Amino acid sequence: MIRVRHVSKEYGAFRAVDDVSFEINKGEIVGFLGPNGAGKTTTMRVLTGYHPATKGSAEIAGFDVNTHPLEVKKRVGYLPESVPLYLEMTVSSYLSFVAELKDISRSKRKSEVADVMERCGLTHMQRRLIQNLSKGYRQRVGLAQALIGSPPVLILDEPTVGLDPKQIVGIRQMIKDLADNHTVLLSTHILPEVSMICDRVLILHEGKIVTEKKMDELEKGASLEEVFIAAISQETKPAHA
Amino acid sequence: MRNVWTLCKREVKSYFYTPVGYVVLGAYALISGLGFSLSFILYSFWTETPALYDLPAVPDFEEAFLSTYLVYCGTIIMFIGPLITMRLLAEEHNQGTIEMLLTHPLRDRDIIFGKYLASLTMLCLMLFTTSINMVIVYYFVQVEIEVLLFGLLAFFLMGAAFLSMGLFISSICRTQITAATLTFSAFFAFYMMGYMAEDLPEAAPVPAEWSEQAQTNADTVYQGFRTILNELPIDAHAQQMAQGIFQPADIAYYILFIVFFIFLTFRSLEMLKWRN
C-alpha cells in the first residue's frame, strides 16, 4: 500500500532523510520511531506530497507521489505534527470545510462530519471556536480532519500528543480498529504506544532506517525500549550530502 | 473550479469571522463617502457659478468629477488593499495551515484562484458601495449610464491589479505584518512613479559636449525610461478609462499586470514546496 524506494531529502547541504526504503502492506499499522530530528516528519511529508523528495520515489496505493499527487492525496488522511487549524472557525464548520475539500458530496457531508466528531469525542464541542479549545481538543480536531472521508491510508505524526490519558486509550483503540480497512503509519515518542497498537516498527536515526522489526519478533527477545536505545546508539556516518 | 469556490467561500467568511472585513469595508465606505460628498458638492458649486472659481465655463463632468473621484476610490485601495491581501497566504504559512492545503487533493491553481477570488469579492463589496454613489450621480447629472459603468470597470481593474500584487507579496511572506508593510511599500512605489514621470523633462538631459551618436543613444534610453515611468503607475490607465474613453491598451495593461503577478504567485508556491 505504501512503498518508499531510496528516498533522500536534502535541505541545502543537510541531508534530513538518507536513502530510506520500506514497504507497508494493506491493513498494517506501522510505528515510526526515532529521536528528534531523525527525519520522521520529513519522510511523512514526502509521502503526503507536501514536498518532493530530492532522490528516490514513493508510491501510495500504486500511485507515484510525484507524478500523480492528486490521486495520492485523495487516498491519504494526514495529521501533521503542528496541527493545522483555522482558529477563527468552529469545529463543525472547519470539519465541513475539510469534507468539502475531500470531495464528499453535499448529501453525505453532514453525516460524515457528525460521525467523525462522534468518534473523536468532539460532538459536544462542535459549536466552539477552535481558538477557544484546549491543546487536547485541538489535537482531536486535527485527527478528525485526517479521518474524514475514511481514506485508505492514514499518516499520523504524533497523534496522541496533548491528549488526556482517557482520550489516549480511546484514540489508540480507534487506530487499532481502523486496521481492518486502513493502512496506518504513525510516528510517536511513546514506546508503549507502539507495543500496544503497531504490527511493525521502523526506527529512523539521522535520516536512515536503522531497525525494522515485527512486534511479535520483538516480544520474544528484548523490549522495544532496549531495541530503540541500541538502534539509535549505533554509529552512523555524518548526515551530509 | 469547485475547490476554488470552496476556498474562496472559507476565505471570505474568515474576513468576517475576524474584524478585518468590517474594518476594511467601513473604512472604505467612510473615506470614499467623504470624498464623494465633498467633490460632488464642489462640482455643483462649479456648475452654478463657474466664474466665482476662476473657471471659464462649466467644467466637463467626466473629467472634473467622475474620473477624479473614481481614481481617488482606486487609490484608497492602495491604503486598505494590504489589509485585504496580507492574510491570504502569509497567514497560511504562519498558522501552518498551508501544510493542510498542500496535502489535500487541491491543485495550486485552486489555492491561488480561490484566494484571489476572495480578495476580489471584498473589492466587489467596495464596488457596491461606490455604485450607490454612482446611482446618486445618475439621478442628478445628465450622464450616460455606459460612462458610469465603464468608470466602475476602471475602478475594479485598478483594485484588482493592486490585489494581484498583494497576493504575490503575501505568498513570499511568513507573517501578515511583513506582507502588509511590503505590499503597501510596493503599491506606494508604483503610485509615486507617476508623479516622478511628470517632473521629468521631455528631452534627455545630456551634456552638449557629447557626440551626436552618444546623444541619440542616451535619448533613446531616456525616452524608454520615461515611457515606462509614465505607463507603469496603476492609476495612469484608470484616469482615461474613468472618463469613459475606451482604449484597448488600458484594459490590456491591467490584464497583463494581473496575469504577471498571478504567474509570480504560482512560481512562489512552487518554490515553497521545494524549500519546505
Q: What is the pLDDT of residues B133-161, one digit of tens each?
A: 888 888 888 788 888 888 889 889 999 99
More confident residue, A50 or A179: A50
Which of A18, A28, A4 lies closest to A214 in space, CA to CA? A28
Q: What is the DSSP letter of B200?
A: S
Give the dihedral sign, CA A10/A14/A16/A22. positive
Average pLDDT over residues B67-96: 90
pLDDT at res. B156: 92
- B174 close to A (CB below 8 A): no
pLDDT exceeds cutoff 50 at A241? no
pLDDT exceeds cutoff 70 at A100? yes
Which of B88, B80, B99 lies closest to B8 in space, CA to CA? B88
pLDDT at res. A97: 95
- B37 close to A (CB below 8 A): no
What is the Cα–Cα distance from B195 to B199, expressed in whole angstroms?
Answer: 7
Amino acid of residue A162: G
pLDDT at res. B276: 63
More confident residue, A221 or B78: B78
Residues 56-115 of B with CB under 8 A from A: 95-100, 102-107
- B185 close to A (CB below 8 A): no
pLDDT at res. B266: 96
pLDDT exceeds cutoff 60 at A240? no
pLDDT exceeds cutoff 90 at A93? yes
Model confidence pLDDT, tens digit, residues B21-41: 999 999 999 999 999 999 888
Cβ–Cβ gap A101/B107 under 8 Å: no
pLDDT exceeds cutoff 60 at A216? yes
Model confidence pLDDT, tens digit, residues A10-20: 888 888 888 88
What is the Cα–Cα distance from A51 to A53, expressed in whole angstroms?
Answer: 7
Residues from chain A contacting residue B99 (CB–CB below 8 Å): 45, 50, 80, 82, 84
Using a pLDDT cut of 70, give the percent of chain B over it.
100
pLDDT at res. A220: 65
Residues from chain B contacting residue A80 (CB–CB below 8 Å): 96, 99-100, 103
Where exactly are the structural domains of chain B?
Answer: 2-275
pLDDT at res. A156: 92
Would you place residue A239 in the very low, low, confident or very high pLDDT band (cuts 50, 70, 90)? Answer: very low
- B271 close to A (CB below 8 A): no
Would you place residue B223 in the very low, low, confident or very high pLDDT band (cuts 50, 70, 90)? Answer: confident
Cβ–Cβ gap B96/A52 under 8 Å: no
Indicate the range of A27-36, B95-104, B238-247 predicted with least confidence: B238-247
Q: Where are the beta strands (DSSP E) in A52-182?
A: 55-60, 63-64, 76-79, 153-157
CA distance A191 to chain B (A): 27
Average pLDDT over residues A21-39: 88
Asked if CATH classification 3.40.50.300 holds for the domain at A2-233, the reply, yes or no, is yes
Average pLDDT over residues B54-58: 79
Where exactly are the structural domains of chain A?
Answer: 2-233
Nearby residues of A117 by Cβ (< 8 Å), 6 or more positions away = A91, A92, A95, A123, A126, A144
Average pLDDT over residues B44-66: 81
pLDDT at res. B169: 96
B39-62 burial code (b ≥16 CB/10 A, e <16): bbeebeebeeeeeeeeeeeeeebb
Indicate the range of A56-60, A226-230, B236-240 predicted with least confidence: A226-230
What is the Cα–Cα distance from A90 to A98, expressed in whole angstroms?
Answer: 12
Using CB atoms within 10 A of its CB, is residue B131 exposed (0-12), middle (13-18) or buried (19+)? middle
Q: What is the mean pLDDT of chain B?
A: 88
- State which of B52-56, B74-78, B105-109 shows the largest mean pLDDT: B105-109
pLDDT exceeds cutoff 70 at A140? yes
* Cβ–Cβ under 8 Å, residues A161 and A182: no
Grid cell of B74 as nine digits = 482606486
Using a pLDDT cut of 90, give the percent of chain A over it.
41
Would you place residue B101 in the very low, low, confident or very high pLDDT band (cuts 50, 70, 90)? Answer: very high
Model confidence pLDDT, tens digit, residues A147-200: 999 999 999 998 888 788 888 888 888 888 777 788 999 998 888 888 888 888
Q: Which residues lie across from A78 on neighbouring strands?
A: A155
Amino acid of residue B241: M
Q: How many helices (H) and strands (E) does chain A have?
A: 9, 10
Would you place residue A235 in the very low, low, confident or very high pLDDT band (cuts 50, 70, 90)? Answer: low
What is the Cα–Cα distance from B192 to B185, expressed in whole angstroms?
Answer: 10
